[in-house]
Chain A
Amino acid sequence: MQAYLTLTRRELGGFFFSITGYIIIAAAAFLIGLSFVVILQALGNKPYPVPVTELFYVTHFFWLILLLAIPVITMRLFALEKYSGTFETLMTTPVTELQVVAAKFTAALVFYVVMWLPLLGCMWILTRYTTGGALDAGVIGTTFLGILLLGSLFLSLGCFASALTRNQVTAAMISLALSVGVFMLSFLGARVPDADWKSQVLALVALPDHMSDFVRGTLDTRPAVFCLSLTFFFLFLTLRVIESRRWK
């Protein structure tokens, strides 16, 4: 446990010691702010019958942030350490591979949540300066839960990609390809007949649909289970990749 906490702190430190962490947060804050401005303008023209959180979600900035920021966050996790050789010194200490993978994933997840905090700020501004309760805590809660669940899925993809290579750029590209791949699967659902078993399977993968449930304040366990199980699956694969150096 001590090793896990120490490693997590070190990884988080790695994000904030380097300029990349701040650039990622700044870029995300900029995009979130931009989407906020767009929403405010739209709201100024005519009233919408949907929660503001859903408006945030339908501006597409959401997916842009999710798909672009995560490969950049995760690319350094293993690739950088393998490249600089510190991964070897790490593995000569009595830490387990599981601790290493868990710590790196946790750190990335914490950083990812920090990156989304400006959205909370936007929502605070909305509730502070509007009347009639544009938002309630439940909707904000499920929105962030959705962000967390989808994020952990894509972060685990990124971890896996980073474990595969020593090159950060390669890791980012693999991670981007995997996440866009999973994301695109969602749209295949519309192309097959409704009654087909394929469409039912694809409906499970339909991330935008899941997310739109979350931003409306609906809490469905199916997408949660889906995201979590895929997250664990890819973290398991990461673990196997890391362990593989012991059989090579």
Chain B
Amino acid sequence: MLTRLASPLMSNGWMIEVANLTKRYAGHTAVSDISFTVGRGEIVGLLGPNGAGKSTTMRILSGLMPATSGTVRVAGFDVFRDSREVRRRIGFMPENNPLHTDMRVREYLRFRARLKGLGGKRLKERVNTVMEQCGLTDVSRRIIGQLSKGYRQRVGLADALVHEPELIILDEPTIGLDPHQIRSVRQLIKNLGRSHTVLISTHILPEVEMTCNRMVIMYQGKILAADTPENLQQLMSSNSQVIAEIAAPESDLYECWTQIAEIERFDVAAVDGQYYRCALTPRNGLDLRPYIYALAKERGWYIRELTRSRHSLEDIYVQVTRPDEEEEGEEFTA
């Protein structure tokens, strides 16, 4: 948090500066006039559905492809003109994490470290360190082609870290991992943020919430929103629904929900037996749960579920991409 506050004060202290970046392929625009900055020490998540332009942005950042227009600077170096300087400072793990499957883990990491200019004692040290960091010590002599997806992902991660880059770019680092591995990778990314700047891309919202200081939402090649996860969550949950499954006479429920002024919309549906599923939308970001509990207690209703729906990424897209569109459904307006 401190770095976030400090970085704007240092006018050229940005790790990544993207200004008016556009990338056009024959026929379609992958990234359209985006600008954003990332300060040193930040962990920033690029969030978006497939085809939003996340990977294209990352590939331009790491100098793999040129931009059609706009400028991209990493640590003050132009990614196109000072490509080598930029590549020295970046650890990049591409989306499908391609590896030399015929090499052994340690051998591969040593090979990559040498390409990145490490040598001698430092090379040995760094390879050992990243293997430990990524939990690869047990498989150091295994052939990469025979490793499971999770281990391969970790090899890719270890490769991105091995030369202690200032900026680490990870394209979908947790894709295809099991929940345990996802957890450990997230923890690793979080720890990295202490000494590195990290840019990750994902389409999983909790991932960004858990690991990032800031998120940038991309959709159809444009940036829709960029803020801290907390702020965006708050923005989103301001009118988040409360779901309650209550055993009560249907007419009572209709009556109650209509009377409560804080409820903007509601929907009641029979579930099974005497239970009704009520979806309640608050008027001004209020958390309706205490009200409902108090009401049920007062009236002697049985509640078997009372949850506040967390907004998924999908909802955010719907909200951010189509702000004017009327919501569908058969909700009643109070």
Contact = CB atoms under 8 A, between A and B. Distances in A.
Interface of A: 2-3, 6-7, 10, 13-14, 17-18, 84-86, 88-96, 245-248
Nearest to A14: B102
A85 B117 contact: no
B290 interface: no
Given A7-B115, A95-B115, A89 B98 contact: yes
Nearest to A18: B102
A91 B64 CA distance: 7
Contacts of B159: 89
A196 B71 CA distance: 57
Contact of B94 (A3, A85, A95, A245): A85
A13 B90 CA distance: 27
B99 interface: yes
Contacts of B65: 245-246, 248
A2 B116 CA distance: 9
Contacts of B66: 246-248
19 contacts: A6-B114, A17-B103, A18-B102, A85-B96, A85-B98, A88-B98, A89-B92, A89-B98, A89-B159, A92-B64, A92-B90, A93-B112, A94-B115, A94-B117, A95-B115, A246-B66, A246-B80, A246-B83, A247-B66
B87 interface: yes
A3 B84 CA distance: 13
Interface of B: 62-66, 80, 83-84, 87-88, 90, 92, 94, 96, 98-103, 111-112, 114-117, 119, 159
B98 A84 contact: yes
Contacts, number: 67
B102 A6 contact: no
Contact of A92 (B92, B96, B117): B92
Contacts of B112: 89, 93
A86 B115 contact: no
Given A7-B115, A14-B102, A246-B66, A96 B94 contact: no
Contact of B84 (A13, A94, A248): A94
Contacts of A246: 65-66, 80, 83
A246 B86 CA distance: 14
A92 B62 contact: yes
Contacts of B99: 86, 89
A95 B96 CA distance: 22
A88 B64 contact: yes
Contacts of A245: 64-65
A243 B30 CA distance: 22
Contacts of A93: 87, 112, 115-116
Contacts of A92: 62-64, 87, 90, 92, 94
Nearest to B85: A94
Give 10 closest A-B pairs by Cβ, nearest first.
Answer: A85-B98, A6-B114, A93-B115, A92-B92, A17-B102, A94-B87, A94-B88, A86-B98, A94-B84, A92-B62
A85 B96 CA distance: 8
A14 B92 CA distance: 23
Nearest to A10: B111
Nearest to A9: B111
B113 to A, nearest CB: 9
A3 B114 contact: yes
A6 B96 contact: no
Contacts of B94: 85, 88-89, 92
Contacts of A89: 92, 94, 98-99, 112, 159
Most chain B beta carbons < 10 A, residue from A10, A84, A90: A10
